[in-house]
Amino acid sequence: MYKFSHILRWILPLVVTLILVARAQGEEALTAKEKLFLERHSVWKVHSEDYWPPFNYREFGERKGYSTELVLLLAQQVGTKVEFVDVADWAEALDKLKAKELDIISNMTPTQEGQQFAKFADSRTIAVTNALVSSDAINSITKLSDLIGKSLAVVQGAAEIPVIRENYPEIRLVETQDTLHSIEKVVSGRVTAAFDSEHVLRFYLENYIDSPLRVTSLAENVNLGVYYQTLAVRKDRPELASILDKAYLSLSPETIQSLKRKWLTNNQTNKVNVLNLNRDERMYLNEKQVIRYCTHPDFLPVEGTLDGKAQGMTGEYVQYFEKSLAIKFEHVLSASWKESLQNIEAGKCDVLTLSRPNKSRLDYMTYTQPYLSLPVAVAIHQNTPYAAEISALVGRYVGFNRNHGLADEFRERYPDVNFVPVDSAFTGLQMVENKELFGFIGALPVVTYHLQNYFPNLMVGSRMNQSFPLSVGVNKAEEKLANILNKAIEKMDIRLHSSILNSWTPVNYKPVSDNRLVWAVLTIGFIVVCAIGYSYYVLQMKYRKLEELSTKDQLTGLYNRYTIDTVLAEQVAQFGFSRKPFSVILGDIDHFKILNDRYGHLIGDQALITMSRVFEENISDSDLVGRWGGEELIVICPGKTEEQAEYLAETLRLAINAEYFDEVGTMSCSFGVAQYFAKHSITDLMQRADRALYHSKRMGRNTVTSYTDFHLQYKGDAT
């Protein structure tokens, strides 16, 4: 230890000296004229674009991209500051440089035309490959010559325009404001293809555009394939170009490679789901920068305020909206629900995270489609007669929260129940505990939360055939925002809802001694039928741990039967809102019992693990795969018709046939596919999938059968 410390005493001063010498050499590399220039121009005005990712763009109101970070590094190297100047488009950037309103354009291709008003640095900071984007249905567009006689969108002022016109005069060029405009013209069919950097085109298609488009690289095109960009400065400030070159050369190769890996190897994005937002909607979000939201301060675990911060399950959905829309959501504190309503009416907040359409609020608020539905239940005292049926409430006094807007519906549906309005769930449940009310009716997760935390002598006595369908309430002045949020809601998938459910559903339960309390515990599971999950809340349990419900199968790592049942119920609830199709695929490993008998259960388990991996690798992000039981696997396919799910099942079948299973060799799987329809229950759906699967087995295995095909062949067996 002494020797190491002794060596360190000598090495550290040497390292520090070398660093200081290197820095001194970097400073000495600047000429006296360049140093004087920096003294007089300590702030650089640099152009900032909105829509040229991953090089130069804005997200969350923050400037991002390779070129943006590079110019900041260069300024740091020579001790200057950067002032970013926003430009609406590339043409404006060029105009501002010509007018000497900019010092630097951080990403520009050197051209003879550009040299008339700009001085280019010698350092090649970016190597760019051009590409075309066209409709996926047009397979014939693989090179620029394929566009002869057709239209091509290109950004106005792009350096490649003269080259395209010279080499491909028969192509009709359509100049656009920016890349996003170009892509939108392809989507709408107004042009055949669009031309831009391959990085930029792929970034947009992967993160913003939800249309069947394809990107074709032009790397092999001699004149337009690969080119480089550098920094361009005002022509009357050549010293600045020299300074930028020296600053760039002073960066270590590791620093430059790290920057390129960050931005050009894997496109950076906060994307959760691709949203097909049009340009106006993207512009709206870009200008908005922050969306202010109000919540119900006392509706835990759904949402609430603790220590001045928003809590509850809606917090998870706010995070989803933030990432999907690439914009920050800012919580506006409210002391009460009434104040939240006043805030949105006064324009102090843009949205309410949870709200139900109400005639009295339509003057100042519009609504998205529902994204959450909460079942309704009644809490009663444990010492009162058990009220498993709603008929037990006839003639009784039952409290409800006056702020939740279901009073008229309750009274109309249950005219023989005496409903009493109260100010909050806590107040109503306290009145039940004091036996001032027979029961309290409210959203099941809210009732359960209060019972577990504050009212151990109460229980869930009955549930009503009613639910809270909840939407995002949007200030009427922000109707464009409502449309944008609807697009985000439509893209919510079962993985999002399941992750929220699995993260925040409590798993510790009180041991019970009678069926009433067993039913009370099981009602928590019923939340899954219509609710989308719980958000974070601190659950101070006074009960002993009975068991922990796992959501994953321990052997395969797939979702287990409990979670699959949960997600199926959720899909049925969502179908009630949107009428969007969903289907299921049942897969059964062929001859699995024989495999176990021949090779043993350890090899059988390994084969099942490999089979599960093949399933996971060949489904889309919106699908969910689980272990249905034994050697049966299930795939839930939101948004897919039976025909589309059948195609996926065939893809899985072929992938399994191509897989090598250790110790076993090749294996196969039989499949049954069925689609959910409104008149059916989950049991009906699974029976149909099972019948189709059985038919595949009868047909010799290693086959895919849809229920429709099975039904047409065996009408007598269908119900």
Per residue in 640-661, pLDDT (tens digit) is 899 999 989 998 999 898 888 9
Instruction: Report whether pLDDT(5) > 60.
Output: no
- For the segment 341-359, the average pLDDT, to the nearest whole number, is 91
Who has greater pLDDT, 511 or 150?
A: 150
Q: In the predicted model, is pLDDT for residue 121 greater than 50?
A: yes
- Statement: residue 228 has pLDDT above 70: yes
pLDDT at 341: 93
User: Is residue 512 pLDDT above 80, yes or no?
Assistant: no
Give the pLDDT mean for 550-560.
Answer: 81
pLDDT at 12: 45
pLDDT at 270 over 80: no
What does pLDDT average to over the chain?
Answer: 81
pLDDT of residue 536: 27
- Is residue 497 pLDDT above 50, yes or no? yes
Q: Does pLDDT of 612 surpass 80?
A: yes
Helices and strands (H and E) in the chain: how many: 24, 30
Find the mean pLDDT for residues 120-140.
85
**String of DSSP letters for 517-549:** HHHHHHHHHHHHHH-----B------S------
Between these two residues, 252 and 352, which has the higher pLDDT value? 352
Token pair of 516, please?
């009433």
**705 in Cβ contact with 699 (< 8 Å):** yes
Confidence class for position 501, pLDDT limits 50, 70, 90:
low
587-596 mean pLDDT: 93
Average of per-residue pLDDT across 389-414 = 77
pLDDT at 414 over 50: yes
Say yes or no to pLDDT of 447 above 60. Answer: yes
pLDDT at position 308 over 70: yes
- Sign (positive/negative) of CA torsion 516, 464, 524, 529? positive
DSSP state letter for 124: -
Predicted pLDDT of residue 494: 67
Say whether pLDDT at 386 is over 70: no
User: How far apart are the C-alpha atoms of 636 and 551, rounded to whole Å?
Assistant: 16
Q: Would the pLDDT of 46 be above 90?
A: yes
Residue 290's alpha-carbon distances to 60, 62, 482, 569, in angstroms, are 8, 11, 15, 35
What's the pLDDT at 315? 87
Q: Which of 26-35, 339-348, 627-636, 692-701 has the lowest mean pLDDT?
A: 26-35
* pLDDT at 381 > cutoff 90: no
pLDDT at 716 exceeding the cut of 50: no
- Does residue 674 surpass a pLDDT of 90? yes
User: Which positions ≥6 away from 482 have C-beta within 8 Å?
Assistant: 366, 367, 368, 472, 474
- Return the percentage of the chain with pLDDT > 70, whole number: 82
- Two tokens, residue 463: 């549930």
Q: Categorise residue 494: left if φ over 0, alpha if ψ from -120 to 50, beta otherwise.
A: alpha
Distance from C-alpha of 636 to C-alpha of 653, rounded to nearest angstrom: 16
Which H or E run includes 153? strand 151-155
- In this predicted structure, the answer to whether residue 611 has a pLDDT above a threshold of 70 is yes
Q: What is the pLDDT of residues 148-188, one digit of tens each?
A: 999 999 999 898 999 999 999 999 999 998 898 899 899 88
Instruction: In whole angstroms, give the CA distance from residue 338 to residue 334.
Output: 8
Q: Is the pLDDT of residue 511 over 70?
A: no
Give the length of the chain. Answer: 719
CA dist., res. 155 & res. 173, Å (int): 10
Query: Which stretch of 16-25, 118-127, 615-624, 654-663 has the lowest confidence by average pLDDT?
Result: 16-25
**Most confidently modeled range among 17-21, 25-29, 69-73:** 69-73
In the predicted structure, residue 378 carries a pLDDT above the cut 60: yes
Bridge partners, residue 51, by sequence: 57
pLDDT at 434: 93
Note the Cα 336 to chain centre separation in Å. Answer: 30
Secondary structure element (H or E) that encloses residue 615, with its range: helix 601-617
- Residue ranges with strand state E in 146-267: 151-155, 172-176, 193-197, 213-217, 226-234
User: Does the pLDDT value for residue 129 go beyond 70?
Assistant: yes
Side chain identity, residue 581: P
Q: Which amino acid is at 416?
A: D
What's the mean pLDDT in 243-269? 79
Burial class (CB in 10 A: 0-12, 13-18, 19+), 174: middle
The reported pLDDT for the residue numbered 60 is 59
3-state secondary structure of 639: coil
Say how far apart CA 243 and CA 247 lie, in whole Å.
6
Least confident interval from 113-117, 226-230, 391-395, 616-620: 391-395
The DSSP line for 153-177 is EEETT-TTHHHHHHH-TTSEEEEES
Residue 327 contacts residue 289 (beta carbons within 8 Å): yes
* Better-predicted residue by pLDDT, 503 or 231: 231
Q: Is the pLDDT of residue 532 over 50?
A: no
Output the pTM of the full model: 0.47
Weakest-pLDDT range from 115-124, 140-149, 296-305, 509-518: 509-518
Instruction: Say what the pLDDT of residue 672 is.
Output: 96
Q: How far apart are CA 155 and CA 160, in angstroms?
A: 9
Tell me what pLDDT residue 203 has: 86
pLDDT score of 508 more than 50: no
pLDDT bin (cut points 50, 70, 90) of residue 212 is confident
Percent of the chain whose pLDDT exceeds 90: 39
Q: Is the confidence at residue 464, as pLDDT, over 90?
A: no
pLDDT of residue 293: 96
- Single out the residue of 699, 614, 708, 697 nearest to residue 653, CA to CA: 614
Q: Of the candidates 125, 154, 152, which has an alpha carbon nearest to the alpha carbon of residue 138?
A: 152
